[in-house]
């Protein structure tokens, strides 16, 4: 049964690969999620780990950021319709807040729950790290260079900040504390770089976090998730004063749906009066995926989703008409595949902790991503493992690895990173070059090869099995190692596909990756 499935998928992959350019240019059939190409969308709109999303509208475009914890390169996304998104920039590419971001000791730390705002011609991103403090970056152009991080407050134990500039020009910042709650409001300098007081607690609730502040029709609103990531709900607080007292209303719950949570996100309004809410759902190994919900304002309260059970509280929608926007958006998926033909990395790539920039290159061997190995006992502690978000529940990832410059003790290849680590690759020994698989510590050595290039593949099906394969000709692939069981708990993040090169004996050796091809379900995915 498994062999039949894998053979079928391999044949499908080869067929699709032969027409890859046409598929990328002409992909127009509805996927398992996202834009259905008939005026509707199917949740999730982004079936990938864009956790703790925040969204704003500037003119006719929408922008979004998300948590990325210990991964470097917080992405900035843009959309014309809130359904189809592209990565257009990165807020930062390293965190020089603590030496442990260099030594692979900050798993689960880093950027937590950012907020994105636009004020006086600038975009602002605020986030907290659990140990170091509150940070801000700004940019006039979100696709350009963002300012170096400003340390607004050095403090541990804060989370989920949100800035707010009132109509009189006064700036504020709201946040919660590690462990969720209470909600605290500070006055802030107009430039957003300094807090002006010690803050005032304005609300305490059951696991209250994810602060998002808005003002509408004379009311201040704080939109927060409560009750915990997997089992909670969305709450709206409102008051005529930013310091309260606040009225409270639950505005979105799981109800009879299968959308657990639903958790933390942001509200955005259109010129035509429509309002929408993007939030996440914890979906296990794929991480926390993004859903889009309609919002109706009723008696100055936001009503989110659809009330399926008649109790007055909205529930998440499954399929729904798309937002009515004035321009026709490009229907294309988020970036994944890469030919490594440019001198800069694609915006989909992120480093696992701070990179060592003289140990990787797109220039030393034109057309290849070059990863020079540093010494590490295993992939968890390997510097310069490059990775990106897992996309959809079904996928096929293939890469071509040139091992001509590998040295003894070096391992290089394709991996899935998380609490468990799965590797398919090559290991160089004193006697030769071998294919190997390492399935969360279960090592299996394969054949010795006498050629310098090998093809590596991951066949991912989160509802069935995930396997690792290799090929000597790029056509016939052989499974190596057991099927993978992907962890649902991954330092607050999802399992991620990546490319690695490290040496267990001594520093040295170079891996050359020719290309990275990612076929997956969903928009523009090729499956």
Residues with active-site annotation: 52, 209
315-350: b (≥16 Cβ within 10 Å) or e:
bbbeebebbebeeebeeebbbbbbebeeeebebbbb
Strands, sheet with 301-304, edge to edge from the N-terminal-most edge strand = 263-269, 275-282, 288-298, 301-304
Backbone angle region of 214, left / alpha / beta, with phi > 0 → left and psi within -120 to 50 → alpha:
beta
- DSSP collapsed to 3 states, 183-207: EEEEEECCCCCCECCCCEEEECCCC
Structure tokens at 259: 């959308």
Between the CA of residue 171 and those of 83, 162, 198, 414, what are the distances in Å?
31, 11, 14, 47
Between the CA of residue 253 and those of 195, 200, 233, 256, 300, what are the distances in Å?
34, 28, 5, 9, 19
User: Looking at the DSSP assignment, which residues form a beta bridge with residue 351?
Assistant: 72, 386
Q: Give the residue among 119, 139, 142 at the shortest CA–CA distance from 63.
A: 142
Structure tokens at 369: 């991503």
d(Cα 43, Cα 45) in Å, to the nearest integer? 5
Contact between 456 and 469 under an 8 Å Cβ cutoff? The reply is: yes
Strands, sheet with 247-252, edge to edge from the N-terminal-most edge strand = 212-216, 219-226, 233-239, 247-252
d(Cα 72, Cα 104) in Å, to the nearest integer? 12
Cα 255 to chain centroid, rounded = 26
């Amino acid at each position: 049964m498994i062999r039949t499935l894998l053979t079928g998928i391999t044949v499908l992959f080869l067929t699709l690969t032969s027409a890859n350019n046409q598929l990328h240019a002409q992909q127009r059939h509805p996927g398992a999620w996202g834009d259905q190409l008939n005026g509707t969308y199917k949740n999730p709109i982004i079936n990938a780990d864009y956790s703790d999303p925040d969204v704003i509208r500037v003119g006719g475009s929408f922008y979004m950021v998300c948590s990325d914890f210990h991964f470097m390169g917080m992405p900035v996304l843009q959309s014309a319709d809130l359904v189809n998104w592209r990565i257009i920039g990165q807020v930062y590419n390293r965190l020089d807040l603590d030496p442990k971001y260099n030594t692979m000791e900050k798993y689960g730390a880093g950027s937590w729950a950012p907020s994105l705002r636009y004020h006086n011609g600038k975009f602002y991103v605020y986030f907290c790290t659990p140990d170091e403090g509150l940070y801000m970056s700004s940019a006039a152009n979100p696709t350009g260079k963002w300012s170096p991080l400003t340390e607004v407050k050095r403090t541990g134990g804060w989370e989920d900040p949100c800035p707010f500039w009132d109509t009189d020009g006064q700036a504020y910042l709201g946040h919660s504390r590690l462990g969720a709650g209470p909600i605290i409001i500070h006055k802030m300098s107009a430039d957003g770089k300094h807090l002006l007081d010690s803050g005032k607690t304005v609300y305490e609730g059951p696991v209250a976090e994810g602060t998002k502040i808005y003002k509408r029709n004379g009311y201040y609103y704080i939109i927060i998730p409560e009750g915990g990531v997997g089992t909670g709900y969305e709450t709206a607080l409102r008051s005529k004063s930013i310091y309260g007292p606040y009225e409270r209303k639950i505005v979105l719950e799981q109800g009879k749906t299968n959308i657990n949570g639903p958790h933390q996100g942001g509200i955005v309004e259109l010129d035509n009066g429509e309002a929408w809410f993007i939030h996440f759902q914890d979906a296990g190994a794929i991480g926390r995926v993004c859903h889009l919900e309609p919002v109706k304002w009723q008696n100055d309260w936001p009503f989110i989703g659809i009330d399926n059970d008649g109790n007055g509280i909205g529930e998440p929608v499954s399929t729904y008409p798309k937002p009515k926007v004035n321009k026709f958006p490009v229907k294309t998926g988020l970036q994944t595949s890469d030919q490594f033909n440019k001198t800069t990395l694609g915006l989909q790539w992120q480093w696992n902790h701070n990179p060592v920039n003289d140990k990787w290159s797109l220039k030393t061997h034109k057309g290849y991503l070059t990863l020079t190995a540093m010494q590490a006992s295993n992939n968890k502690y390997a510097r310069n493992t490059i990775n990106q978000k897992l996309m959809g529940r079904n996928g096929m990832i293939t890469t071509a690895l040139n091992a001509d410059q590998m040295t003894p003790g070096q391992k290089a290849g394709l991996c899935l990173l998380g609490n468990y680590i799965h590797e398919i690759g090559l290991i160089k020994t004193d006697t030769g070059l071998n294919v190997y698989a390492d399935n969360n510590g279960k090592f299996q050595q394969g054949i010795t090869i006498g050629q310098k290039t090998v093809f590596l593949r991951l066949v991912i099906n989160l509802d069935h099995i995930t396997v690792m394969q290799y090929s000597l000709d790029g056509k016939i692939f052989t499974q190596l190692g057991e099927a993978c069981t992907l962890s649902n708990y991954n330092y607050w993040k999802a399992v991620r596909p990546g490319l690695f090169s490290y040496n267990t004996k001594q520093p040295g050796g170079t891996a050359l990756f020719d290309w990275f091809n990612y076929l997956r379900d969903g928009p523009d995915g090729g499956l």
